[in-house]
Amino acid sequence: MKKARYIALLLAGALAAPAFARAQPTRPPEGQAAQPAPAAKPEPQQPSGPIIPDSQFEQALPPLDPALSQPLEPLDQVRAPGAATMPPGTPAPATTTMPEPPFPPVPGPVENPPPADPALSEPLPPLSSFDVQPPPPTPAQAAQNGDRPPPVRYTLVVEGFGDTGLEGRFRGLSALDDAEGNAVNGAMVQARAEEDKAMAVRLLRSEGYYDAVATYGIEQLPDQPGRLRVTITVAPGSRYNLGTINISGPDTNPSGMPRRFLPLETGHPIRAADVESAEANVLLRLPQEGYPFPHIDVRDIVLDPDTHIGDYTLPLNPGPRASFAGFTTEGHLAFDAAHVGVLSRFRRGELYDRRKVDDLREAMVATRLFRTVSAEPVLTGEHAPDGTEYVNILVRQDAGPPRSLDLSAGYDTGQGLRLEAAWEHRNLLPPEGALRIAAIAGTQEQNLSIRFRRNNWGQRDRALLLQLDAGRRDYPAFQGYTSRLYGLITRESTPIWQKVWTYAYGAELLATNENRNGTARVSLSDAYFIGGLIGQLGYDRSNSLLDPTRGFRLLARVNPEASLRSGARFYVRNLIEGSAYFPFGESFVLAGRARFGSIFGIARDQIAPSRRLYSGGGGSVRGFGYQELGPRDAKNVPLGGRGLSEFSIEGRYRFGNYGAVAFVDAGQVTERQYPDFSDMRFGIGVGGRVYTSFGPVRLDVATPLGRRPGEALVTVYVSIGQAF
């Protein structure tokens, strides 16, 4: 078996050696070029004769080396490399000499060694005393494990703004300050710091510090894990001021208008807001002076770093000088160009003024007939006698739904609950001919009315009104059924268009059945038939219709009437009132009102109860119910009168969108035709205001002084607008 294995190994070696030599080419010595490998010799062919016997094969084998059968030398006789060669036969020494190690020799004992550390001789602490809790994971490990890393807290420090006065504005715009010191990680803090650094430079340059630079630093607070200090440091440099100011381009008529409209002065700081607002003022004022198409190119400011002066040049093309020509309109029309001309406040040949075009557009918006509406000038190519070019005003209309349904509800402690619903078609008879049908359902009033109103009738802001209504009223002073037909021509103020002068004149006819002491019934024999004229004139110099803070108002009304009941009786109802407003600072207003009324030419008891004078209520003397003031009969029912006097004083304090008021009201109704002050009644109270875009919403609470039987302890009033 051993012989067969040895033969097999020899055969394997003989066969494998040529194969390995072919697979691995010979590598040439270093520095010599590689020589081409010699061509492989063909392998000798194996003899095809019979296999030789074992005896012959063994004889052909070479003899084995006798050293293979000798025992191995002991290990201690093996010499290290570099040891001296021993002659044969010399006995082996007891120890073997090793070469000099490459390490330095070990030093000998020290005469005065340092004392040993006592802790080395102390026993080790038990394992139970060790903290076996693992340390908290790093943010990267927490993110890898799906855990949320702890938040980062930081403190913002701002340095360098000094006397610029801009640190407050910087903090108001700062991304770091806005986050209030909270961040998810340090990368977020760094991103915010980068943003604040760039913003600080922009802010300083916008104020004229064009050499400004900014840096930031982030540092870990000692002994406060997760706490950072972020420092934004700025260096504003010197501030640049305006030098020469020049406007290039064609001149205007009259000459030099653009420079007068550009409120920049040499020596003032180059503030971006001042420059932009000055240029906007030029674009605003030129269209008000006959130039509808001004154009500004990019400004040029040349900065001198030595003198810190910037020379400013504004390229301006004012465009053609123009005059009004006429009107054109397009789109989904609510009315034609002729009615557009009625709404305008300018005529052909007038110098172009953008304010009048804006006024026209706002007047069209006030009709409530459009989804969108615009007005813009268009050159015609035609020239006026004064050399200006005519422009038409192109009005683009997009008519909206003309029909609407209105619902409203209210409550007053004096008049009770009131619900009103109305349907209206605002353009039933174009232009602006509106039909409105309304119904009132309340605890003291039920009414149905049909009204036709044409706004801007023949001229701007004039209206024609025709109305028929019928209903029932149940007031403290009387109960009655009334039908009324009246017509008016009016010029009134609205929240959009407050006018200095207002007026109304017209006529009315009414039939009314009224009973002061019981239930009224419809009866022609007991009815009052009244016909009269209406005249009213107002003068308003206040600064707001719903929330005046300065100025005054005056109103006078005269109503000559004839009453047909048991004969004809003629009389005149008169009313005059005024109010004034005095501001003290920006937050406080002192307001006062006075009202006087009288009826001449007829005794009180011959006047229909609804046509007499009454006082009390939210628009009169607060603290009393509707129509409660004045003489009363034995059943404590108000009788009304022919003389009226009322006074109010109110202090209004506003803070933001809210306000508070305190007021004192006084009033009196007398049987005589001239008011006197013999029995004045007073009401006091407080109120709150919520200021909205369309006016204040008021809530007043009042109580009467010297309260009498039948009078409420507290009355509440809610409405839109101030009391007066």
pLDDT at position 342 is 93
What backbone phi and psi angles, to 5 degrees, belong to 170?
-60, -45
Predicted local distance difference test score (pLDDT) of residue 479: 87
Provide the CA 611 distance to its chain's centre, in angstroms: 51
| Identical fold between 151-235 and 322-399 | yes
For residues 529 and 511, give the distance between their C-alpha atoms in angstroms, rounded to a whole number.
Answer: 5
> What's the mean pLDDT in 499-519?
90
Peptide bond into 93 cis (omega under 30): no
Output the pLDDT for position 7.
Answer: 30
Task: Please give the torsion angle defined by the CA atoms of residues 485, 490, 493 and 494, in that order, rounded to the nearest 10 degrees.
Answer: 50
Q: pLDDT value at position 408?
A: 85
Instruction: Assign domain 475-720 one CATH number from 3.40.50.300, 3.30.565.10, 2.40.160.50, 3.30.460.80.
Output: 2.40.160.50
pLDDT for position 81: 46
Query: What class, spelled out in words, does domain 241-317 have in CATH?
Result: alpha beta
- The predicted pLDDT at position 412 comes to 67
Q: How many other CB atoms are there within 10 angstroms of residue 78's CB atom?
A: 9
Q: What is the CATH number of domain 151-235?
A: 3.10.20.310
Neighbours of 12 (CB within 10 A): 10
Q: Label residue 721 by pLDDT band (50, 70, 90).
A: confident
* pLDDT over 80 (residue 364): yes
How far is the C-alpha of 538 from the C-alpha of 505, rounded, in Å? Answer: 12
The CATH number given to 322-399 is 3.10.20.310
Domains in the chain: boundaries: 151-235, 241-317, 322-399, 475-720
Top pLDDT among 7 and 151 is at 151
Measured between alpha carbons, how far apart are the two ends of the chain, in Å?
A: 133
Dihedral sign for Cα 11, 13, 16, 21, please: negative
pLDDT band at 130 (very low <50, low <70, confident <90, very high): low
pLDDT tier for residue 216 given thresholds of 50, 70 and 90: very high
Q: Which tokens is 71 given? A: 């025992």
Non-local (6+) Cβ contacts of 508 within 8 A are 484, 485, 486, 487, 530, 531, 532, 534
- Please give the Cα distance from 287 to 377 (Å, whole number): 11
Using 50, 70 and 90 to split pLDDT, how confident is the model at 16? very low
pLDDT at 74: 61
Contacts 24+ apart (CB under 8 A), 384-388: 384/323, 384/349, 386/323, 387/321, 388/290, 388/320, 388/321, 388/322, 388/323, 388/351, 388/352
Q: Kindly indicate the confidence band of residue 660, based on its pLDDT and cuts at 50, 70 and 90.
A: very high
Nearest to 243 by CA among 192, 294, 307: 307
Quick one: pLDDT at residue 613?
A: 93
Is 90 exceeded by the pLDDT of residue 83?
no
User: What SS3 class is residue 614?
Assistant: coil
What's the rounded mean pLDDT across residues 648-658?
Answer: 94
Q: Once rounded to an integer, what is the mean pLDDT over residues 269-293? A: 95
pTM over the 0.75 mark? no
Residue 254 token pair:
């009259």
pLDDT for res 15 = 31
The mean of the pLDDT values for the chain is 83
DSSP state for residue 289 in the 8-state scheme: G
- What's the pLDDT tens digit per position in 60-82? 777 777 766 677 666 554 444 44
Confidence of residue 25 (pLDDT cuts 50, 70, 90): very low
- With 0-12 CB in 10 A as exposed, 13-18 as middle and 19+ as buried, what is 186? middle
